Chains A and B, each alone.
Chain A
């Protein structure tokens, strides 16, 4: 069920009516049923996969929690009667048991993710023969719900949250439908309170949520889906579309990716919002970042947080990395103290690349991100000295320059998302330098790639609107700002937005209904 389909809008409408009609204590059950229906409609097998994940993670978490209980009870009962060494040994034994349950849960679920999403890729590394694993259906949203479920299990293991005793609540946490298509990847502690809570229909909350949904449709239907045909055309034939075409492709794809992903998240958060469920924000005006490091704090925030929390920290505190750390300090002195961080970051970025897709392009994309971030980190003192020396580094103009520089970097990195092979990506990137004729950028040729002159005008206008909204958002909440205006003005603003989506949106016959880009990750 596409977020942009009539069936999704109808589904949400029916859900909303039922949700606020039933006794409040049953609301989470309605959400669970809706989420199961959502999965079932997409593919009944997907419902089985997500249920399996919920069941195994729930079971492992219960066992971990039980083990905490046994450990604490034993220590309480034997307080003062056992030696510190015995207590330590007892704790270590139970820690081991909890780690076994955690590993078991992770192994099962990451295993499913690997088999369904990566087996063809891995098998391809070792054999040239065609394998049959390409026929396996990738369950809906598996990349997102697996991370969310595994994060929950690790949190329980760390003792930062208690295990959820109700299996069905766990199933709802893992399968909550607005997050299925493209996240965000929520933490149990953030989501569970409002997800399982009782909600009254709040006029302002529902208004804001509906406005958020509308804004999401604006980005998706007016900007992203209008660009999509051109991007598909340009990347589908890297031998034909080179030079100036690649410049257009990287600019268009970067706009499309932003509008598509942030638009989708707006719809997700908005749909959750009308149900009173608070979902974690995933973006903070990422294209206003002045560096790649800042960009990754503003773009796909929940994914970055997940990898930092559940990959970076465990890896950086592992025995292996501690060993590397000692070795580096011994041989490189003070300069070696960052080596463990760089090593752990490298693992994180390769994992992030792989999470995005089973393809070398994503792995290279991850490595390039790591390389740029590492080099930037190393050059930090040089930048600092430069900024100190020149007087304009704090000026608005210089910040704008740094934003553009970051966007350019992101544009280039994004190209690794687009093309199917690393060779093609490098080849087209090289063609920008060797084959570009600048005149072509503004020639009729750019009207033959799936976008008309009118499409360019609409996209440009859409980008200006998004930019203006983002600028206001830097200072405060746009909806709050509009909410304070007289009724006639705010009615006119939201109705105009609705009409623009209705009339200018790329939907229906004659347009391809494009799935959200992040749904494929």
Chain B
């Protein structure tokens, strides 16, 4: 009896040590995305929000998280919004992120950036990781993994990330220790800020494609997004961000326009609304036209916020005590980051659209 008791204690102690060591190693080895490539942190940051009663949810790739500023939407229209986007987020990932968001709240409007329709299969394991890893474990995450995995990937690697990142021990930095259990927020309601400017003086020409048709899988998830919104009474809006490249082909545009007409879904192609928005590619982009900087994002938000507010009646939540408090902090963090980046990139704060407009 005594021997049996001893064996049980020994087994339990061993199991505890094994689990503890593996847990700590996993925490140490997984990428923290706190500095450098921070895009991988965006999806997880959503869950840190105490109040998730967002009226507008953006889903999509870099064309949403770099081109719309929820802070401006709040400041100017009282729109409580969040961007659930990550780098090269594929349409099936956008679908499952939207589905995941509905666990917390049903928004009035879902904005989907249609850039990802061009992909019928996941192109890169690294992007899959950045889009999916931060999701909380629900059926949506399981389905997102299944829909996204490339040939080399394995479901178990998502369940136990240590299997994926086991060899990162040779590239660990002090950040991995520092942010082992808690990382700082790097986005502003999902918005990725850049204050620096790199004018778009050259736009690479798109190469001819053998086939411009969007694939079956892409359309399947487009239908899924539409049906999810219909089922939940959410107004779906499709947008194309004003990124000068990669090339948005006329053939792509025709398919989206046809779909929007067929299902009566509003579609805004901001490439065609550049003048209306007031975009200036000599001041409003930080990477020569691929993504907008804070100037461009704020102009876009200023323009699009009016549409959301006037045409789709998104509620102005200003005056809600709890939200006012949350947004006051958000705005403060946002401006602090502007100041930090202005110093980092040597940008005159007052030259930014945000402050030059306020001065006028």
Contact = CB atoms under 8 A, between A and B. Distances in A.
Nearest to A491: B14
B21 A499 contact: yes
A503 B169 CA distance: 8
A503 B154 contact: no
A508 B157 contact: yes
A507 B21 CA distance: 20
A499 B166 CA distance: 10
A500 to B, nearest CB: 11
B89 to A, nearest CB: 19
A358 to B, nearest CB: 30
A509 B166 contact: no
Contacts, number: 34
A503 B166 contact: yes
Nearest to A510: B167
Contacts of B25: 499, 503
Interface residues of B, number: 19
Interface of A is mostly: helix
Interface in A1-40: 6
Contact of B10 (A487, A499, A507, A509): A487
A133 interface: no
Interface in B147-169: 152-154, 156-157, 162-164, 166-167, 169
Nearest to A494: B14
Given A6-B154, A454-B170, A491-B14, A508 B21 contact: no
Interface string A451-468: 000100000000000000
A509 B14 contact: no
Interface in A486-521: 487, 491, 495, 499, 502-510
B254 interface: no
Contacts of B170: 454
Contacts of B163: 502, 508
Contacts of B153: 509
B164 A508 contact: yes
A503 B167 CA distance: 6
Interface in B1-30: 10, 14, 17-18, 21, 25
Q: Counting chain B CB atoms within 10 Å of each CB, which of A495, A508, A510 scores highest? A: A508
A495 B167 contact: no
A6 B142 CA distance: 18
B310 interface: no
B125 interface: yes
Contacts of A508: 154, 157, 163-164, 166-167
Nearest to A505: B166
B18 A509 contact: no
Contacts of B156: 6
B169 to A, nearest CB: 6
Contacts of A509: 125, 152-153, 157, 164
Q: Counting chain A CB atoms within 10 Å of each CB, which of B154, B164, B166, B169 scores highest? A: B166
B313 to A, nearest CB: 46
Contacts of B169: 503
B10 to A, nearest CB: 6
B309 to A, nearest CB: 45
A250 to B, nearest CB: 27
A371 to B, nearest CB: 44
Contacts of A499: 21, 25
Nearest to A9: B156
Nearest to A511: B167
Contact of A495 (B18, B125, B152): B18
A503 B166 CA distance: 5
Contacts of A507: 166
Nearest to B168: A503
A507 B164 CA distance: 9
Given A487-B10, A509-B125, A502 B154 contact: no
A502 B156 CA distance: 14
A516 to B, nearest CB: 19
Contacts of A504: 167
B10 A502 contact: no
Given A491-B14, A509-B125, A509-B157, A502 B152 contact: no
Contacts of A495: 17-18, 21
A487 B166 CA distance: 27
Nearest to B166: A503
A421 B14 CA distance: 53
Contacts of B18: 495
Interface in A267-309: none
Q: Counting chain B CB atoms within 10 Å of each CB, which of A502, A503, A509, A510 scores highest? A: A509
In the complex, the 6 A-B pairs of residues with the closest C-beta atoms, listed nearest first: A6-B156, A503-B166, A509-B125, A491-B14, A509-B152, A503-B169
21 contacts: A6-B154, A6-B156, A454-B170, A487-B10, A491-B14, A491-B17, A495-B18, A499-B21, A502-B162, A502-B166, A503-B25, A503-B166, A503-B169, A506-B167, A508-B154, A508-B157, A508-B163, A508-B166, A509-B152, A509-B153, A510-B167
Given A491-B17, A502-B166, A508-B154, 9 more contacts: A454-B170, A495-B17, A499-B25, A503-B166, A504-B167, A508-B157, A508-B163, A508-B166, A509-B152
